[in-house]
Amino acid sequence: EVQLVQSGAEVKKPGESLKISCKASGYSFTSYWIGWVRQMPGKGLEWMGIIFPGDSDTRYSPSFQGQVTISADKSISTAYVQWSSLKASDTAMYYCARSLRVAKHFDSWGQGTLVTVSS
Amino acid sequence: DIVLTQSPATLSLSPGERATLSCGASQSVSSNYLAWYQQKPGLAPRLLIYDASRGATGIPDRFSGSGSGTDFTLTISRLEPEDFAVYYCQQYGNSPPTFGGGTKVEIK
């Protein structure tokens, strides 16, 4: 069974750094892309970026380029998204999701990680 | 970026009725690479339809997708109680992939 299990909820202050994770199991981690999707409170879905763990090829939406860093550690089948300096506007639910190709639908999703940034 | 506009924003229907959800694109979606997802409160989205009309694994056949170019439709033939949720379309034929704003299907 394909599973994407994300790290737990985080509460941070503006300016702090953060790295959240997405651990994959039940399939070959290096054969699929892992994407990240933001959902701000009460809002819709936003495609942030995607990584191919096999060779770390990474693509970003222009809206998120330079705002976050996506990475992966294939030795532990885990993908990450990180922020160097959080803002209140980063408060959102973040989902990881699996895709067969860089330009394809997401067929499996993690449960989401809620990030709250507040002073 | 391609902008996807979903309509209506809210659809009020009764169980057993047919639901028709629309997704319009600001420009033609390459290869009709469009997906539909269902999201229930507090849960992650779930893939229903991909490539405009292909049903995802395990999805009941009351869900169907159609359309091409700039106009796409998700149809739920007979609403079951568990179908009341928010539905999103996503295009992945043009970079960057984008999502629509969602349609909420609520119980009338």
The pLDDT tens digits for A30-46 are 999 999 999 999 999 99
Whether residue A103 has pLDDT greater than 90: no
Identify the residue among A22, A34, A45, A70 best suited for mutation to test binding to B, counting B beta carbons within 10 A and taking the highest. A45
Using an 8 Å CB-CB cutoff, list chain A residues near B46: 109
Are B96 and A61 an interchain contact pair (Cβ–Cβ within 8 Å)? yes
Are B100 and A47 a contacting pair, CB within 8 Å? no
pLDDT of residue B30: 95
pLDDT (mean) for A86-102: 96
Asked if A54 reaches chain B (Cβ–Cβ under 8 Å), the answer is no
Percent of chain A scoring above 90 in pLDDT: 97
A47 contacts B98? CB cut-off 8 A? yes
Distance CA A98, CA A76 (A): 16
pLDDT of residue A74: 96
% of chain B residues with pLDDT over 70: 100
Q: Write the DSSP string, A24-39.
A: EESS-GGGSEEEEEEE
Q: Are A84 and A17 in contact (CB under 8 A)?
A: yes
Mean pLDDT of B40-44: 97
Determine, for residues A105 and B102 on separate chains, whether the beta-carbon distance falls below 8 Å: no
Q: Do B100 and A44 touch (CB under 8 A)?
A: yes
Provide the pLDDT for residue B87.
98
Mean pLDDT of chain B: 97
User: Which band of pLDDT confidence, cut at 50, 70 and 90, is reported for residue A118?
Assistant: very high
Q: Which residue has the tokens 């860089």?
A: A102
Q: Mean pLDDT across the stretch B27-42?
A: 97
Q: Mark yes or no for CB contact B90/A109 under 8 Å.
A: no
Provide the shortest C-alpha distance from residue A47 to chain B (in Å): 6
Q: How far apart are CA A34 and CA A46, in angstroms?
A: 15
Which of A45, A63, A110 faces B99 most closely, judged by CB atoms? A45
Average pLDDT over residues B75-96: 97
